[in-house]
Amino acid sequence: MKLIGSATSPYVRRIRLLLADAGQGYEFSDLNIYGEDREELRRQNPTLKIPVLHDGDEVIFDSRVIYRYLQDKLDLPGINWKQENLLTMIDGANDSMVALLLTQRSGIDISEDKLFYNLQRERIEQTLAELEKLVADDAFEVWNYPAMCLYSMFDWGVFRGLLDTAGYPHLSAWLAEQQDRPGIHSSDPRTAA
Ligand SMILES: N[C@@H](CCC(=O)N[C@@H](CS)C(=O)NCC(=O)O)C(=O)O
């Protein structure tokens, strides 16, 4: 198995955590998707996004689909409808944070009172407030795929300076409790930056 990604991507990290937890070995291709490895990304995925998983002749795009593929292949637990909604919330916050980061990197001031930035900020705040409540209610007690996605998203938001841990005491405490889970340290975006 080969995972095409980058050492800092939260969508790639969730799959790295999953593979580590399942004890599945794999080759990791760490691309600079906005720089020198752009051509390789074009060859890998027409949507120009990571992660991409290669397994023999199969090439799978998108972390959510990769999970479904690995679930079948490695006999992992299924995701129920409630958990699908958790993934949608986590992805909503994560996509908006990626959009804000790329806007910021384009030299645009994202603190301006503009519709697009306001909508992203509102989505991030709303989903994170809901996730904070769910963590307080022990909805993420089990270290499963939604928990790995939550960990990767929240830790990445903090790493990129888009989230303030002080506003999310339950999430922050939950994050600290997961430090010894398989793959957490080796996939830390801070060690790659
Ligand atoms: N829905 C996709 C999202 C993946 C995604 O947005 N990945 C980011 C890296 S963190 C990316 O490739 N961004 C490239 C771009 O937006 O141009 C998934 O779950 O795999």
Give me the number of domains the chain comprises.
2
Q: What pTM value is reported for the model? A: 0.97
CATH at 71: 3.40.30.10
User: What's the gap in Å between 86 CA and the centre of ligand 1?
Assistant: 18
Q: What is the pLDDT of residue 192?
A: 78
Residue nearest ligand 1's atom 9 by CA: 9
Do 100 and 144 reside in the same domain of the chain? yes
- CATH code of the domain covering residue 133: 1.20.1050.10
CA atoms within 13 A on the CB side of 103: 18
- Regarding whether 166 and 100 lie in a shared domain, the answer is yes
Which tens digits make up the pLDDT trace of 106-164? 999 999 999 999 999 999 999 999 999 999 999 999 999 999 999 999 999 999 999 99
Ligand 1 site: residues with CB under 6 angstroms?
A: 9-11, 33, 48-51, 62-64, 98
Q: Are residues 58 and 86 in the same domain?
A: no
Q: How far apart are CA 152 and CA 20, in angstroms?
A: 14
Are 103 and 172 found together in one domain? yes
Is 109 in the same domain as 154? yes
Q: Which two tokens stand for residue 124?
A: 């991030």
